[in-house]
Chain A
Amino acid sequence: MFIQVKNLTKSFKDTFAVNNINFEIKESNTVGLLGPNGCGKTTSIGMMLGLIRPTKGQIIIGNEDLETADREKILSQINFASPYIELPKKLTVRQNLEIYGRLYSVQSLKDKILQLAEDLDLKQLLNRKNGELSSGQKNRVSLAKSLINSPKILFLDEPTASLDPDTGDYIRNYILTYKKKNKVTILLASHNMSEVEKLCDSIIMMKNGKIVDRGTCKEIIKKHGRDNLEDTFLKLARSKNET
């Protein structure tokens, strides 16, 4: 399933959060959405998730226009994980996964929960309340929720933010393994450049609501004459005339 974004714009009063962006993510590709804070990444993801109505432009998900298509049909094939949103704290991990599994009409739900628990090392946590978990454990649960419906498109917003290096590495490796096993298109927003280099087939750089560069990591690093993605990011983020 692919994503196509055409002339996408979102303005709040006189401010353009996203200003006429165009891109395409091919099926089974992982694309990194990069940019400094406030550059329009979250707004762009919000529009692709159907949570924010674009001021202008079009989002095509698997041949269907998000604005006019059957909302339920599209949402049943996508999912989202972010450390900034959580699952109900007072419910156990199992209860949370059960509820979302039911909302996504997952078949053989018990087996699916057990499989995700096995894959993400959550077996011991299934009967614990979400609020009692550490940040790393919560992230794994959040990832499990985002995979409960075996999505064809997965939006990940800083999936390893605030995690220790070991847990972060675990999550990254899991995403890589999952990607190999499943035909999933991923849009990853992250500030962790090594993570982006490890996971993404290509990247889109945003600044002040616009796309300022795009390509594979190697292409972009080479184009800007830097040694790594981190330095390239800093160059683009600090430049004044790119927008």
Chain B
Amino acid sequence: MKLDKIYALSLRHVYLICSSLPRIIDLIYWPTVQIFLWGFISKFFTLNSSFYSDTIGVILTAAILYDFLFRASISYNMMFLEEIWSRNFTNLFIAPIKLSEIIAALTLTAIFRTLIGLIPASILAIPFFGVSIFKLGIPLLFLLTSLYIFGVTLGLLVTSGLLRYGPSFENIAWASLFFLAPLGCIYYPVEILPMSLQVIAKLLPLVHIFEEMRNILLTGSVNLVELVKSISISLIYFIVGIIIFYTSYSGAKDKGTLINMGE
């Protein structure tokens, strides 16, 4: 992998974001709306039920972390879709770049887009709802890393579909995260799920991430095993995602979808 090529590929997306104020507002707008929505819901529960009295921070922190995952995945998909929408796809794939450089550039640039949305929302949650995700301390870095790897993995899987099946796969891009959300146990403990679904849910890193987040916030203790487990599972999915991406590229070459792919 050559760093200058990864830089060039990333630069294209940085130029795109920086050249458009509506794009920046769009990146900030949705996470902020999400935070306010969940903030008010949590406040309502707190005021009306003693059961929820200690958990406003838990729900809102979960909402922020879930949004981080969502933005990471959507950012990855969006950057790939931008190439299709702008009919730049062929130009990109005839340039002397490796697939690994494309993956690396998308992965690195997705964090830029994600943080533009996450940072303002996380800061706003402090004065408005008295909730700070930074209360999670150092483990927050591990949780965010795990979420980011998994978010990018979902992005990789969707882009693999786009490569193989073309723009018609676009709708899956938007639906991918909603499909996994119920199994991710973002807002509720894994025990809520039926036993059969618990088995499946535990194969996802999300359960380990959000269970550990609740553990830290409610008990103040950190379970390192859960943190390592969540990152390890995310990494396994990431590797699988890369293999699927390469396989899809090969399939796209057979099918001829790499040429003239556009709107």
Contacts and interface: CB of A to CB of B under 8 A. Distances in A.
B93 A88 contact: no
Contact of B90 (A51, A76, A88): A51
* B interface majority secondary structure: helix
Interface stretch (B81-89, B195-203, B228-236): B81-89
A231 to B, nearest CB: 30
Contacts of A10: 256
Contacts of A105: 2, 4-5, 96
Given A42-B259, A42-B260, A85 B96 contact: no
B94 interface: yes
A115 interface: no
Contacts of A82: 90
B11 A86 contact: no
Interface stretch (A95-103, A161-169, A182-190, A213-221): A95-103
Contacts of B254: 52-53
Among A46, A51, A71, A90: residue with most chain B CB under 10 A: A51
A75 interface: yes
B19 interface: yes
Interface in A1-55: 10, 12, 17, 42-43, 45-46, 49-53
Contacts of B20: 90
Interface in A85-130: 85-92, 95, 98-100, 102-105, 129
Chain A interface category by residue count: 35 or more
B256 A89 contact: no
B95 interface: yes
Contacts of A17: 256
Contact of B96 (A42, A76, A87, A88): A76
Given A72-B97, A145-B91, A52 B15 contact: no
A226 to B, nearest CB: 32
A42 B253 CA distance: 14
B40 interface: no
A88 B82 contact: yes
B135 interface: no
A67 B88 CA distance: 24
A52 B93 CA distance: 11
Nearest to B17: A90
Given A85-B262, A88-B82, A102-B7, A51 B94 contact: yes
Contacts of B88: 85-88
How many of chain B's residues touch chain A, expressed as a range?
35 or more
A102 B5 CA distance: 7
Nearest to B83: A88
Interface string B247-259: 0001001111011
Contacts of B97: 72, 103
Contacts of B90: 49, 51, 80, 82, 85
B9 interface: yes
A79 interface: yes
Nearest to B88: A88
B246 to A, nearest CB: 13
B93 A51 contact: yes
A40 to B, nearest CB: 11
B253 A52 contact: yes
A86 to B, nearest CB: 4
B16 A91 contact: yes
Contacts of B253: 50-53
A181 interface: no
A73 interface: yes
B260 A84 contact: yes
A129 to B, nearest CB: 8
Given A75-B96, A102-B5, A51 B259 contact: yes
Interface of A: 10, 12, 17, 42-43, 45-46, 49-53, 71-76, 78-80, 82, 84-92, 95, 98-100, 102-105, 129, 145
7 contacts: A51-B256, A52-B254, A84-B87, A87-B88, A88-B83, A105-B2, A145-B91
